Amino acid sequence: MPPPEPTPMVPGSRTAAPSPHQVIEGLKATDDPRALELLTPEGERVAHPEFDPYLSDIGPEELKGFYRDMVLVRRYDREGNALQRQGQLGIWVPLLGQEAAQIGAGRALTPKDMAFPSYREHGVAWCRGVDLKDLLGIFRCSDHSSWDYQEKRFTPYTIVIGNQVLNAAGYAMGQRFDGKVGNTDEAENEATMVFFGDGATSQGDVHEGFVWASVYDAPLVFFCQNNQWAISEPTERQSRLPLYNRARGYGFPGVRVDGNDVLACLAVSRWALEQCRAGNGPVLIEAFTYRMDAHTTTDDPTRYRLSDELETWKLKDPIERVRVHLARNGLADNEFFDSVQAESDALAEQIREHCFAMPQPGPERVFANVYHDPHPVLDAQRDEYLDYLAGFEEEGVH
């Protein structure tokens, strides 16, 4: 059936609004020639003269490393989901299906670069050396991003949608003001990468981040994981045109990359970070991927999307294509795959044990990190509160 004729946007205008059919077609088109792909879902390496140089150091060992990264992170993610179902976590935010986007971007970052996550970036956290146990505390509601974010160069998780984009824009502007871009000695240069989703692109914060970063040439890579669903809202409710095209309106480059292709995500992220470090200003990357599980454990995606959509995306699985590529080209044997599987199960076991044994912080904790130095009013409040709590009988006495 041919798509319906487009209707004029404004009476008398020469431009026509795209029909809903066209909008959805464009947004869902994964064979978009503009979406960079270097490793096909069938595991075939596609040559690309512009981006291949960014993978010149990636040999079989490195590729096996990315495979391990993705398997471990996925296993961690599944364990987190199970722990929530068993009543051990208040909530869990699954990353299932987005491993390539996160490992590709995360492995492109150098130790000096700064990363601003939202709340689904378990894979990026892994790449930054954050102990995955430390992430659990957030979801057990007993801790809040307790890693040293200056040392890890990975800020606390941001729950408010899009807020971290403003923080990252400010940080990247600071990098520029401090002369950390465009130096002839490239070791002195650094950049920032901020992670957000397709839903966040409708937030004012993200727009403001785009504006500030662009006019100040801030070294900021906007890494948008378009996983097609903002909870239950599909991408066609966020934008009329592909999200990476938004960058054009702000005057910086935008690129769409196959978000399930770890090599493409790595190459594009390296290129974008290089642009930033050179002082050329921000870059938007739209990693076209798919959230294969629910938005969070509180969500039920079967209520708003069809199962064949999920089945289609399973064929584009980010881990499977690397596995096929390694196996078919004789780069890895079953022993390797088994050892990674065993390692991931051991990681899950550790996470599980840690979760059950995680100490419950005392009630004084809420007062502990408000001020840097002791504060007499707060100290008095804490003492009063602890005194109040001490006035109860032990639990179980009555």
Partner 1 sequence: MPNYKQFPLADTAEGLTEADILNWHVKPGDRVSVNQIVVEIETAKAAVELPIPWAGLVTELLVEPGQTVEVGTPILTVDLDPDGAAAPETPQPEPEPAAEEEMKPLVGYGSKTVVAKRRARKGAEPVAAVNAVAEPAPAAEPAGGYVPLAKPPVRKLAKDLGVDLRALRGTGEGGVITREDVRGSTPEAPAAAKPVTSGDRERRVPVKGVRKATAQAMVSSAFTAPHVTEFLSVDVTPMMAFRERVTNRPEFREVKLTPLAFAAKAVCLAARRTPDVNAVWDEEAQEIVYKDYVHLGIAAATPRGLIVPKVRDADSLSLAELAAAIGELTATAREGKTPPADMRSGTFTISNVGVFGVDSGTPIINPGESAILALGAIREMPWVVDGELAVRQVCQLSLSFDHRVIDGEQGSRFLADVGAVFADPANAITF
Catalytic residues: 291, 295, 304
Contact between residue 323 and residue 39 where contact means Cβ atoms under 8 Å apart: no
**CA atoms of 9 and 351, how far apart (whole Å):** 54
CB 260, CB 289: distance < 8 Å: yes
Q: Is 304 in the site for partner 1 (CB under 8 A)?
A: no
Taking CB under 8 A as the criterion, the residue among 232, 298, 339, 341 binding partner 1 is 298
Residues with Cβ within 8 Å of residue 231, at least 6 apart in sequence: 199, 295, 299
Is residue 393 part of the contact set for partner 1 (CB under 8 A)?
yes
For the bound state, the minimum distance from the C-beta of residue 33 to partner 1, rounded and expressed in Å, comes to 38
Q: Which amino acid is at 384?
A: E
| Interaction between residue 303 and partner 1 (CB under 8 A) | yes
Question: How far apart are CB 198 and partner 1 at their closest, in Å?
Answer: 22
Handedness of CA 74, 79, 84, 88 (dihedral sign): negative
Give CA–CA dist 303/283, Å, rounded: 35
Q: Which is nearer to partner 1, 46 or 231 (CB)?
A: 231
- Binding residue for partner 1 (CB under 8 A) from 24, 46, 91, 96? 91
Question: Quick one: residue 184, left, alpha or beta (phi over 0 = left, psi -120 to 50 = alpha)?
Answer: alpha
Q: Quick one: 216 or 229, whose CB is closer to partner 1? A: 229
- Report the distance separating Cα 315 and Cα 67, nearest Å: 17
**Binding to partner 1 by residue 140, rule CB under 8 A?**
yes
Which H or E run includes 210? helix 204-215
With CB under 8 A as the contact rule, which of the stretches 15-23, 74-82, 181-189, 271-279 interacts with partner 1? 74-82
Q: How far is the CB of 388 from partner 1 (least distance, A)?
A: 10
Candidates 300, 333, 379, 384; binder of partner 1 (CB under 8 A) is 300
Q: Is 187 in the site for partner 1 (CB under 8 A)?
A: no
- Residues that bind partner 1 (rule: CB under 8 A) add up to a total of 31
Binding residue (CB under 8 A) for partner 1 from 84, 155, 201, 214 = 84
Pick one of 356, 364, 366, 383: the residue that binds partner 1 (CB under 8 A): 356
Choose among 187, 116, 122: nearest CA to 149.
Answer: 116
Choose one: 8-16, 260-268, 273-281, 297-305; the region binding partner 1 (CB under 8 A).
297-305
Closest CA to 70 of 205, 297, 265, 335: 265
Select from 165, 187, 174 the least CA-distant residue to 217.
Answer: 174
Show the tokens assigned to 282. Answer: 């921000």
Contact call for residue 73 and partner 1 (CB under 8 A): no
Write down the least CB distance from residue 78 to partner 1, Å: 8
End-to-end CA distance of the chain: 73
| Binding interface with partner 1 (CB under 8 A) | 78-79, 82-91, 140-141, 294, 297-300, 302-303, 352, 356, 390-395, 397-398
